[in-house]
Each structure stands twice: as C-alpha cells, then as structure tokens.
C-alpha cells in the first residue's frame, strides 16, 4: 500500500505540474491506476522514491477531487491547478507569484520603458495592496498617489474580498479609462478616494540638471535596460554645460527617491560608475555555495568629486543596492529617509504555454554584509520632507538695518569661499525641501574637500 501511495503521489504531482499535458484527468485516492501522458516510467520511478510528503500530497489530491466534482459552479482542472500554484507561491512571500500567459507578457514589458496602466510599483500586504512608489510623470503620480499608500478598494470592490493578483489586474486597463482607488494614508484620519485615469506609461528613467552652473543633479526614476549608459550620457552632458559656463561640475546629487528598482545589472553598473574598486553587492541563497559577488572596476566617473545620494521610503531594491554600496564604501553621503527594505532576489522561470513564475532565491547584502531585506538603508543624514516658507522665515533684522550703526573699521578683503545661489535654487526650499537640503550638504562636502586640498 505504501509503494502504491508513493507512486500515486508522484504521478499526481508530476501531472499537476506538467503544463504540456492537455488532457483532463480525474484523480482520486481510491483510483487504482492513473495514466499520465508524456511522463516516462523512469521519471515516475525517480519521483516515487524521493522523500515526498505523502500525506500532505494525498490531502491535496482529495481537496482537488472534491472541488472538481462538487463545487457549486463547474470549475476546470486547469483553474484549480493554477489557483493551487498561485497559493503555493503567494503564501511564501509578497514577491513570489505565478503568471498565466497574459500576465506573463505584461511582466516582461516592465523593462522596455513603455506600457499601459497607472504607473505604480506595488506589493501585496495582508490581502491589500501597498504602493512602493508611483513612477515619475505617471497617472498615479499626477493624481496624488504617494509611496506607502494602502489600497483598500478598487472602484466598488474591496481588495480583501478578491485574490491579490486579480486586484492588480483591475488596476490595469485601456488608456483613457478611469479607476477609482480608495486608499489609507498614514497622515490622514480617514480613507481617501482618488480617481486615476489610465494611460500609456512612457518612462524617462534619467533626468539631469546643472544647478547654479557647478552642482550636478540627476534624477533616476527606475532601473531599466540602458540606465547605466544613460547615466554616463547625463553626466557627460552636465560636464559640457559646466564647461560652457567656464566652470566644472564640483559635485553630484543622485536622486533615488521613489525609485522602486528594476534591473539588477544596471544597479551594479551604476554603482561601478562612482567606485574605484571593491565589493558592490553580493547575493546569498540557501546553499552557502550560491553566493555571487559583484565587484567594481577601476575608474570613478566623477574623479572623486563629492556625491550625495537621496533616498526615501519609496526607494527599493536596485536603489538600495546603489545606496548601500556608496554608503559602505564611504564614497558619498546617503541623505533623506530610510528606504523601503526590499532586498530579495527573484528568479523568473519560463513555463509551458507562455506561462511563468517568479520566486525568491536569494537575498541582497551590502559590501559590509548588511542584509537589505526588511531593514532597508538608513541615511547618514536624515532629511525629512517638509513644507517650508522661506520668505517668511528669512526676514531677519541685521546690524546694517539699525539706525546710528557704527561703520566698519577696515576695508580688508575677506578671502572666504562662498557659493552663489540662484533664485531657482532658493525656490527649492519650498518646492522640494529635501533636495534643497541635499544641495546645501553637497556644498558643505565641496567646501571641506577644498579646505583639505589647500592645507
């Protein structure tokens, strides 16, 4: 009986996972013989002798047969198997999932830079959907969706009443159609209702700007297939702009706020741009021998110029790899707010009939061996996102404004380094306080560097 059970379980397991099998099969515990097309006797024998959890698999087969035969509505074996696989993966962690042929095609669109939807990176959380970050220029960003928002209702459907994968599918749709999201935001006392019009998302992963003729600013919104190449181009453009102003790029702010991540090798290559040598990141799976190290090559594109990296709670995955490498190698200052903490590696596997699966195989570790998963990257200097009225806060009375003031006693010129600040830079204090403070921090690093070089 034991041998029969193991053979039956082996056959059952193989048949359920064989997407090439197009024939329907009725599987019951009492059935004395099950014929599985396209499975060799050798494969069945190997599976039968493996250390399988027999009782649990028999329980699965029993539930499968009960639902197939007696569920209130007719349901196909394919639907039951697919649902079982979805549950198997989603029950492990928020990032493991099964894709049918249609959803798998959409997954592969992420790195191309053009796709339809709301433009948000999401993760499942207790049956709800958490926004990791909205993409720059996306419908979600324009509608006011923020990193950390928790979606509890899509149109009139409560998210917890449906499968998370189905809820995510409901966010997708034809360009121009509207979806109404009900969200919970930590700073609000009651849920918010936000309508969002779907559109084709054409992402520009990198934007560069020269502030006050000598301070570089690059915004990286996500890691796509050519992000490292685009980063080089953006820095070259900043250098050309500075040369035209008869100056140089004295330092750089790399803005990774609300960057949900993307392609791993691009995170490694971008980190490598700023590092001369040493470890960038390593991955470690269950097997100690599975460790993979990613090491920097000689050459710093900034030639040692000060670097400030801005992060916040919407910075995840690849963003955290870059921030962790820069921080551990003491190459720059990490400023802003603690990052999201998504430090796991997912492998994507092609299955039959255009289907696929994604599951977690390893964790990311910074050069000093810190796990990013669940911890995130803490900034060296915390910069909170604040609303600041610089006009109201800068109306000070100085000595020069006082009547009967004493005149200065000497006209000796003061040899002190100062940084001129344009109206646009001062305006950042109101429009983007974190960037404004990062700019001041960069100036401080440049000042200290200049002082040390002159000593």
Residues that are catalytic: 317, 328, 342
| Per-position b or e across 342-380, b if 16+ CB within 10 A of its CB | bbbbbeeeebeeebbbbbbebbbbbbeeeebbeebbebb
Q: Which of 98, 174, 182, 89 is nearest to 143 (CA)?
A: 182
Which SS3 state, helix, strand or coil, does residue 231 take? helix
d(CA 386, CA 436): 11
Overall residue count recorded for the chain in this entry? 455
Specify which residues 347 forms β-bridges with: 359
**In terms of DSSP H, where are the helices of 176-246?**
227-244
Q: Which of 415, 419, 448 is nearest to 214 (CA)?
A: 419
Parallel, antiparallel or unpaired: strands 381-382 and 333-336:
parallel
Which SS3 state, helix, strand or coil, does residue 412 take? coil
Parallel, antiparallel or unpaired: strands 344-350 and 356-365:
antiparallel
Q: Cα 99 vs. chain centroid, distance in angstroms?
A: 19
d(CA 228, CA 316): 17
């Amino acid at each position: 009986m034991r041998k029969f059970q193991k053979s039956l379980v082996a056959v059952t397991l193989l048949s359920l996972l064989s997407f090439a099998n197009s024939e329907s099969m009725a599987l019951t515990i009492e059935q004395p013989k099950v014929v599985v097309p396209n499975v060799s006797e050798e494969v069945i024998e190997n599976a039968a002798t493996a250390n399988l959890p027999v009782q649990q698999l028999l329980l699965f087969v029993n539930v499968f047969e009960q639902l197939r035969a007696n569920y209130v509505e007719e349901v196909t074996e394919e639907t039951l198997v697919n649902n079982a696989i979805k549950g198997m993966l989603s029950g492990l962690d928020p990032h493991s999932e099964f894709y049918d042929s249609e959803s798998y095609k959409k997954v592969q669109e992420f790195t191309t830079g053009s796709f339809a939807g709301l433009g948000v990176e999401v993760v499942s959380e207790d049956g709800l959907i958490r926004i990791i970050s909205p993409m720059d220029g996306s419908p979600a960003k324009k509608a006011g969706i923020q990193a950390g928002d928790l979606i509890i209702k899509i149109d009139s459907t409560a998210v917890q009443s449906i499968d998370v994968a189905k809820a995510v599918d409901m966010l997708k749709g034809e360009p121009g159609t509207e979806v109404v999201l009900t969200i919970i935001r930590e700073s609000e006392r009651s849920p918010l209702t936000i309508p969002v019009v779907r559109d084709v998302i054409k992402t520009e992963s990198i934007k560069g700007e020269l502030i006050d003729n000598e301070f570089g600013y690059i915004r990286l919104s996500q890691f796509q297939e050519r992000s490292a190449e685009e980063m080089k181009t953006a820095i070259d453009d900043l250098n050309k702009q500075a040369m035209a102003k008869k100056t140089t790029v004295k330092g750089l702010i790399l803005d990774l706020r609300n960057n949900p991540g993307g392609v791993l090798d691009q995170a490694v290559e971008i980190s490598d741009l700023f590092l001369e040598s040493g470890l960038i990141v390593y991955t470690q799976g269950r097997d100690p021998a599975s460790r993979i190290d990613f090491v920097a090559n000689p050459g710093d594109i900034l030639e040692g110029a000060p670097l400030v990296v801005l992060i916040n709670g919407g910075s995840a995955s690849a963003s955290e790899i870059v921030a962790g490498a820069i921080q551990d190698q003491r190459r720059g200052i990490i400023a802003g707010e603690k990052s999201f903490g998504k430090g796991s590696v997912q492998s994507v596997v092609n299955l039959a009939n255009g289907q696929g699966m994604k599951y977690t195989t390893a964790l990311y570790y910074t050069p000093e061996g810190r796990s990013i998963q669940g911890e995130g990257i803490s900034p060296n200097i915390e910069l909170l996102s604040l609303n600041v009225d610089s006009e109201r806060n800068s109306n000070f009375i100085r000595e020069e404004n006082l009547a009967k003031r004493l005149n200065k006693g000497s006209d000796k010129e003061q040899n002190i380094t100062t940084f001129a600040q344009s109206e646009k830079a001062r305006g950042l204090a109101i429009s983007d306080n974190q960037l404004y403070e990062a700019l001041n921090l960069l100036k401080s690093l440049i000042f200290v560097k200049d002082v040390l070089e002159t000593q």
